[in-house]
Structure 1
Amino acid sequence: MTEIRYAKPSDANRLLEIYDYYVRNTAITFEYETPSLEEFTARIEHTMKRYPYLVAAVDGRIEGYAYAGVFKDRAAYDWSAETTIYIAHDSRKSGLGRMLYEALEEKLKAMGIQNLYACIAYPDGEDEYLTKNSAEFHEHMGYSKAGIFHKCGYKFGRWYDMIWMEKLIGEHCDHLTGGADRVL
């Protein structure tokens, strides 16, 4: 049985286990060092002050997580959010990503978020550290490529591009309310 629920700070250890694989073995994240449990817990708590942070638990074990965060730190961007997702490396292509992103999008839409953005490491040519799977997943979820930064990330002795993908989920009317005052 799969459950999508809000993360709790006590989930941090398992979420960090999932993330650690990507830090050590891939260029999906441009972090070189896995953060400490304390730092990672603080990141989760900081995100949860304003945005949803969700986990997917399969038979009680967390196998993935997704969250949103500030797109840009200016009031005019308050209706936009950056999305992030990580699935345990041995649970990929199981449908958990779709379930998490659909739940995340629903919660963000209820908050009045209009635009979703994803910052994705992107290889010039696929290699052992990075494929185009993340971009393909986001495209499958309705995102489209909005821009590319060439050779902006350096990891494992090589340069990687970074792309921004976007998905417009709101109506974009001229009279919005809420903005920076919105809280979960």
Structure 2
Amino acid sequence: VSFELAVPTVEELAERIRRTLVNWPWLVCADDGGRVLGYAYASKHRERAAYQWSVDVSAYVDVPVKRSGVGRGLYTSLFALLRLQGYANAFAGIALPNEASIGLHTAVGFEAVGVYRSVGYKLGAWHDVSWWGLRLQAIDGTPAAPRPLAEAAREPGWDAALRSGLAVIRV
């Protein structure tokens, strides 16, 4: 269950992607013909400054290619990029029930943190959301602020981090 109440227009989605890319990666996996197989992105976890080293992440995989490594590959690359930016934690909310998403998040190392009961109302029903956390990296001492995407993308290891998830995709 997506918590969108209406399908976003192409323009609305393009604007979301543009705003996201100021600070965080938005990755897309497409086949050789350009058909989108899945995407994953990061966003701000919370507003307060003390949360700046944590992000929320989300992934979508098209039904015909589920269980083909697309989600794992996207997350592998996304997490590598977020580490280069200086993020320490990633959190994901999963609308319940969703065994496939729980399986993906468990497979890439997330641990369950808790459940928000009846937090979203859609299609005439209340939905629970389970929250999952992943430690991206330990940061000792006083951490530097995470770097904006454009700055981190100039790092020598950026391209390797971006490609790091390709090896697990079986499409």
Q: Which amino acid counterpart does residue 46 of structure 1 have in structure 2?
A: R
Q: How far has the Cα of 1:92 moved from its partner?
A: 1.2
Amino acid at match of 1:166: G
Alignment partner of 2:128 out of 161, 164, 169: 161
What corresponds to 1:170 in structure 2? 137
1:85 paired residue among 59, 62, 65:
59
Q: Say which of 10, 31, 35 aligns to 2:8.
A: 35
Of all paired residues, the percent bearing the same amino acid is 36
Distance 1:105 1:44 in 2: 18
The structural deviation recorded for 1:132 is 2.1
| Structure 2 Cα separation of the partners of residues 60 and 74 of structure 1 | 42
Q: Which of 36, 45, 66 does residue 40 from structure 2 map onto?
A: 66
TM-score by length of 2: 0.82
**Residue 183 of structure 1 pairs with residue 148 of structure 2:** yes
Matched positions, count: 148
Deviation of 1:178 (Å): 2.2
Shift of 1:74: 1.8
Give 1:100 deviation, angstroms.
Answer: 0.4
SS in 2 for 1:94: coil
State the one-letter code of the partner of 2:133: E
In 2: Cα distance, 1:90 partner to 1:165 partner: 25
| 58-67 or 136-145: bigger deviation | 58-67
Describe the superposition over 1:86-122 as per-residue Cα deviations: whole angstroms up to 9, x where unpaired: 1112221111111100000000000000000001101
Could you tell me how far 1:154 is from its partner in structure 2? 2.0
Root mean square deviation, CA, Å: 1.2
Q: Which one of 30, 43, 49 corresponds to residue 57 of structure 1?
A: 30
Q: Aligned with 1:138: secondary structure?
A: helix
Query: Normalising by structure 1, what TM-score?
Result: 0.76
Partner-residue secondary structure (3-state), 1:55: strand
SS at 2:64's partner residue? coil
Q: Could you say which residue in structure 2 is the equivalent of 1:112? A: 86
Task: Select 2:20's aligned residue among 47, 50, 58.
Answer: 47
Distance in 2, matches of 1:117 and 1:60, equals 32
Q: In the alignment, what sits opposite 1:128?
A: none
Q: 2:51 and 2:108 mapped to 1: Cα distance?
A: 22
Q: Which has the higher contact order (CA 8 A, sep 6+)?
A: 2
Whether contact under 8 Å (1:122, 1:135) holds in the other structure is no
Structure 2 Cα separation of the partners of residues 54 and 32 of structure 1: 24
Alpha-carbon distance in 1 for matches of 2:113, 2:139: 18
